[in-house]
Amino acid sequence: MKSIFLTVVATGAWLMVNAQQKLPVYLDINKPIEERVENALSAMTTEEKVSLCYAQSKFSSKGVPRLGIPEVWTDDGPHGIREEVLWDEWGGAGWTNDSCTAFPALTCLSASFNPKLSLLYGKSIGEEARYRNKTVLLGPGINIYRTPLNGRNFEYLGEDPYLSSRMVVPYIQGVQSIGVAACVKHFALNNQEEWRGHINVDLSDRALYEIYLPAFKAAVQEGKAWSIMGAYNQFRGEHCCHNDLLLNKILKKDWKFDGVVISDWGGVHSTDQAVNNGLDLEMGTYTDGLTTKGKFPYSEYYLANPFLKGIKEGKYDIALLNDKARRILRLIFRTTMSANRPFGRFVSPEHSEAARKIAQEGIVLLKNDKQFFPVTNGKFKKIAVIGENADRSLVIGGGSSSLKVAYEKSPLDGLIAKYGKDHVVYSLGYASGPSMYGREEPSKLNADSLMNAAIEVAKDADVVFFIGGLNKNHFQDCEGGDRKSLSLPFGQDKLIDALLKANKNTAVVLLSGNAVSMPWVDKVPAIIQGWYLGSEAGSALADVISGEVNPSGKLPFSFPKKLEDNGAHFYGKISYPGDSINQYYKEDILVGYRWFDTKKIVPQYAFGYGLSYTSFNLGTLSADKSTYSKDEIIKVRFTVKNTGARYGAEVAQLYVNDPVCSVPRPVKELKAFEKVFLQPGEMKVVEMDVKVADFAFYDESKKDWNVEPGDFILQLGNSSNNISQKLKITVK
């Protein structure tokens, strides 16, 4: 009797299959996934099912070798594919072929207001993950920007749930089109790093459903995300990695999520809760050894031997184990064992171009007096570039999103390439310490000497570009700790004032993932918000500064003038950061521009704000009729015209106001937007479909969404505080 060997490439396992026997259903890639899952489940022992549910190394979990079912390999992060680490340590493994493309941080992507770029981003990073044989990409992050002090805001999509929803869906679709699972994080309410491992968040159901859950719901129901990561913090007394309300009731029951809930690393605290409250796969940080050694070996994880022991003793329902194993198998069959999984590619020219384009469209021009920008070739003979961020790596640090990259073009590199080395002179100006995760390290350089040297350089220049902001050191834009202040660190405010006295033609370019205070805002002629722009940072920034690219980014969060103007900080420490045990979101639904507009507080720069090198006009707003029922769609129509002399793009933003309601509501809420690209003098008709159902508020008395009949005001503008058109419609 003849035999053949079947190779399962993903694991290197070999299965002996008799030529006269049928292929097992779970290995038949032509069979429906659910049929394969159930067949594999029926062939597994209890021990094999449990072994799927916990880590075997820092970034992987077991498969079922006996059946040829491969391991699950996860990888940070949302902006690039992290270097390979040692099996059981955080240190790099020393590979020479794992240097990735760094894509812009998600704040930059969100600032583009362009869902098409989000799809490009997802496909590109998905290809890099696939090339490296990853099963799960640990991203995107979509926690709401509640406070400008949150150390991980740079990883997220801003303060507005609608914008986050529209940007996260194509990102997920792009990643998963390459056969890699997106892992949307951190579910939910992980809106600060201070005390993140235990702080208990208390907020209203309205704030939960209207602000903090919509992007996750869109990720699940529209993006069809294959995995979700739980958050470290507690919500109403239960840790989010095993939270009955969040995981069982909302995610799996209400939203019909059929993917895998993965814990954040070290976010599990109880076998009983992990088993019963919706967690599927436990990952960890605290193991110090292999499966039989160390302080807390993998075999003793909460979902490992303790789970198996409880199953055998009848303490835990076998149905709970089957559900977890079923979800993990489904993930594997959707990815590594998929019939149509494409090949990946790594650090390709196409990925560099994608990174550059995303960076270009995300850069925001905040101020531009007397058309300071663009600075075209020949406009100035001598350009002084001042500031550490001009020549500092901004892909390293920040925590789990730190990257080992194939290349990184700094802003200084980009400006020299654009204007020529004979026209650009650089001075450090200020210095931070080395990037040390978990602690601050001050610079050993003398601050006064650096400032004096920069002033001398500025005096002799025709124009000065100060390139500063934050960095990815601890207590800046970094996981594991929040910022200590809204101010620029390392004496930058003092340096900017000194540079302005030396040369009034000083523009400020901020590279950061958070808002900062700007005591010099009225003195400088021009300001650019540049974010963390990835491998192509210098090229993209120089493209915008020189005018080769017209800036079109819009702020995905509000910049307050002072910290107390932010809703989370208005109510004192019990609202942020809490008392180390509990915190209360006292601003409730009034997050970001909802707070500023409703409380009539003028921000430094508003949500949705961003200038261009050309000008635009939004034409008359109209709708297909004036009265609608609750289940109808409003067809909105208006024109956008480029009234300037340059090609560019405007983001038309449609907000809704409910002037008379049984509950307090914000002055406006974003419900639609469209990025429109126009040649000089060109005009386009823009049509938007807006569901009346999206006008609903979460009615706590009914525990459901409610659209009350009456008048609603549609508001059209190009930022949350610049509304040019209004239209009243009536809901029956």
Whether residue 167 sits in one domain with residue 46:
yes
- Looking at the chain, the number of H-run helices and the number of E-run strands are 17, 29
Read off the CATH number of the domain in which 141 is found. Answer: 3.20.20.300
Query: Does 437 lie in the same domain as 326?
Result: no
Per-residue pLDDT reduced to its tens digit, 643-691: 999 999 999 999 999 999 999 999 999 999 999 999 999 999 999 999 9
Residue 3: its pLDDT value, please?
A: 35
In a domain, 23, yes or no: no
The secondary structure of 610-673 as a DSSP string is -B-SS-EEE---EES-SEE-TT-EEEEEEEEEE-SSS-EEEEEEEEEE-SS-SS---S-EEEEE
Indicate which CATH number applies to the domain containing 512: 3.40.50.1700
Catalytic residue among 75, 76, 98, 264: 264
The single-letter code of the amino acid at 429 is: G
**Phi then psi for 119, rounded to 5 degrees?**
-65, -45
580, 651: one domain = no
What confidence category does residue 52 fall into, taking pLDDT thresholds of 50, 70 and 90?
very high
Do 532 and 565 share a domain, yes or no?
A: no
What distance in Å separates the CA atoms of residue 393 and residue 409, rounded to the nearest whole number? 9
Residue 91 pLDDT class (50, 70, 90 cuts): confident
Could you tell me if residue 12 is inside a domain? no
In angstroms, the CA 343 to CA 127 distance is 7
pLDDT at 289: 46
Share of the chain above pLDDT 90, in %: 91
Average pLDDT score over residue span 590-609: 98
DSSP 8-state secondary structure symbol assigned to residue 536:
G
Q: Do residues 119 and 194 both lie within one domain?
A: yes
Instruction: Give the structural domain span for 587.
Output: 558-607
**Residue 601 contacts residue 616 (beta carbons within 8 Å):** no
Confidence of residue 19 (pLDDT cuts 50, 70, 90): very low
Map residue 431 onto helix, strand or coil. coil
Examine residue 341 and state whether it is found in any structural domain, yes or no: no
pLDDT higher than threshold 90 for residue 255? yes
**415 found inside a domain:** yes
SS3 384: strand
Same domain, 155 and 240: yes
Retrieve residue 628's tokens.
């609608």
Task: Tell me the average pLDDT of the chain.
Answer: 95
* Same-domain pairing of 415 and 315: no
End-to-end C-alpha distance for the chain, whole angstroms: 76
Question: Is 264 one of the catalytic residues?
Answer: yes
* Residues 203 and 323 reside in one and the same domain: yes
| pLDDT of the residue at 379 | 84
Examine the domain organization and report whether 553 and 631 are in the same domain. Answer: no
Number of domains in the chain: 4
Do 549 and 564 fall into the same domain? no
pLDDT, residue 475, reads 94
Local confidence band at 77 (pLDDT 50, 70, 90 cut-offs): confident
pLDDT given for residue 645 in this prediction: 97
Amino acid 88: pLDDT:
86
Chain mean position to CA 365 = 21
SS3 465: strand
Based on the domain organization, do 516 and 391 belong to the same domain?
yes
The answer to pTM > 0.85 is yes
For residue 248, what are its two tokens? 């069982």
Decide: 645 and 614 in contact? Cβ < 8 Å. yes
Same domain, 540 and 595: no
Classify residue 152 by burial, with Cβ atoms within 10 Å: 0-12, 13-18, 19+: buried
